[in-house]
Amino acid sequence: MRRIVQSKKLQHVRYDVRGPILVEAQRLEAEGHKILKLNIGNTAPFGFDAPERILADMAHHLPHSQGYSDSRGIYSARTAVMQYYQSKGLTRTGVDDVYLGNGVSELIMMVLQALLDNGHEVLVPAPDYPLWTGAVSLCGGTPVHYLCDEGNGWNPDLAEIEAKVTERTQALVIINPNNPTGAVYSEETVRGLVEIARRHDLVVLADEIYEKIIFDDAVHHHAAHFAHEDVLCLTFSGLSKAYRVCGYRAGWVMISGPKHLASDFLEGLTLLSNMRMCPNVPAQHAIQTALGGYQSVNQLVVPGGRFYEQSKLAWRLLNEIPGVSCVEPAGALYCFPRLDPAVYPIDDDEAFVIDLLRTEKILVTHGTGFNWPEPDHFRLVTLPDASVLTEAIGRIGDYLATMRG
């Protein structure tokens, strides 16, 4: 009998957030160890419950959610997304500009499948949320990484990005607020990114899933604001983080800009939307309820709120460890600390986090798993409450002390 092997399309696809390290964590759990999982921004295990009104609305609509919906999503939910962006000043947004999906992840795959031919290039930040790099590769494209500058608050280097544009470049990915760094880009930066797309006729792919999770005086700027009518911009967002419903898989993409020049691409996107039948119907009913009325996330991102306080605590504690530095996150749910190579000469950061896991029973993700080029970072989720976070970072500090000798 012949061996059954994976497709060659997977050759350059990695998703280390749920990769070999998680497998090792599961093995340790099977042996009876308790593992603190700080590798995934999954809100539910850390006591962040969905707003009651979302649960009630889904339950109310459940008897009527048994059939397929429109392949793009139910009209009321798409209308709610349209109105949300209109309230942000994007007044040209229409209901037909919105596609709903089983989370942003599905929509990223659909968009890239509709957009890319073999050999096309896509500019992706480094570090990035690794789904972007993997999805570009899986769809036949080549991810070209542009470095974000840790010394400048993890902002992208606009000159470097522009230098990497070629005749094969099709799109520019912007992750703002950023996962894994927590950077929230200034208006000048976002405007500059869109201007690069304008000069080179690129599609902007704006991942803004953390747009409501920002701290202090940071301000989120929608890339679509600066795209106007001459840059095609696809804005991705959803309910998973701000509304604590990761498992509902309720996301959307909103299309703005010169749609008349993108009719062929949009026909392809609609084809793919039809092929998956429709998004999860019960979860779609959460969207209108979530986007309207009281926004419970607001109390979590201000002083005294758990998102805020835990992010600040993790940042302070990490910087207290000798040889560790961490840029203060302005948003999102993560810290991305640096391990000084002069203090911690790590050659293989995946091996480092596996040994940390086995020794301290704490699961984090290595920096190269986010396509950072050097083995000198790791990502830590800041979702545990203050006491657990303090203990976890203390144990990381104890482990690092053994490396210092």
**Domain 52-291 class, CATH top level:** alpha beta
Q: Residue 124 forms beta bridges with which residues?
A: 145
54 close to 246: Cβ distance less than 8 angstroms: no
pLDDT digits (tens, 9 = 90+) for 66-80: 888 888 999 999 999
Q: Residue 366, Cα to own-chain centre: how many angstroms?
A: 16
pLDDT digits (tens, 9 = 90+) for 115-141: 999 999 999 999 999 999 999 999 999
Look up residue 331 and give its DSSP letter.
B
Q: Where are the domains of the chain?
A: 8-49+299-404, 52-291
> Pick from 164, 149, 143, 257: which is nearest to 203 by CA?
257
> Pick from 171, 189, 242: which is nearest to 212 by CA?
242
Give yes or no for residue 14 having a pLDDT over 80: no
Give yes or no for residue 18 having a pLDDT over 70: no
DSSP labels for 223-270?
THHHHTTTS-EEEEEESTTTTT-GGG-EEEEEEES-GGGSHHHHHHHH
223 close to 206: Cβ distance less than 8 angstroms: yes
Exposure string for 4-23, b = 16+ CB within 10 A, e = fewer? eeeeeeeeebeebbebebbe
In this prediction, residue 16 carries a pLDDT of 62
pLDDT digits (tens, 9 = 90+) for 284-318: 998 998 998 888 899 999 999 999 999 999 999 99
Q: How many CA atoms does the CB half-sphere of 240 hold within 13 Å?
A: 23
Strand ordering across the sheet containing 169-175: 98-102, 250-256, 233-238, 203-207, 169-175, 121-126, 142-149, 155-156
Residues making up the chain, counted from first to last: 405
Q: Write out the two tokens for 213.
A: 């999770």
92 close to 230: Cβ distance less than 8 angstroms: no
- Alpha-carbon torsion angle 129, 134, 137, 141, nearest 10: -20
pLDDT digits (tens, 9 = 90+) for 140-184: 999 999 999 999 999 999 999 999 999 999 999 999 999 999 999
In this prediction, residue 374 carries a pLDDT of 94
> Pick from 315, 335, 300, 86: which is nearest to 213 by CA?
300
186 close to 150: Cβ distance less than 8 angstroms: no
Look up residue 33 and give its DSSP letter.
-
Give yes or no for residue 225 having a pLDDT over 90: yes
Strands 324-325 and 338-339: antiparallel
Is the previous residue joined to 177 through a cis bond, with omega within 30 degrees of 0? yes
| Rounded Cα distance, 391 and 394, in Å | 5
377 close to 339: Cβ distance less than 8 angstroms: yes
Is the previous residue joined to 130 through a cis bond, with omega within 30 degrees of 0? no
Q: Which residue has the tokens 């707003």?
A: 51
Residue 326: exposed, middle, or buried by beta-carbon count in 10 A (0-12, 13-18, 19+)? Answer: buried
Exposure string for 75-90, b = 16+ CB within 10 A, e = fewer? eebbbbbbebbeeeeb
> Pick from 41, 39, 347: which is nearest to 177 by CA?
41
pTM of the model: 0.93
| Rounded Cα distance, 266 and 55, in Å | 33
**Domain 8-49+299-404 class, CATH top level:** alpha beta
Task: Determine the average pLDDT of the residues in 265-294.
Answer: 91
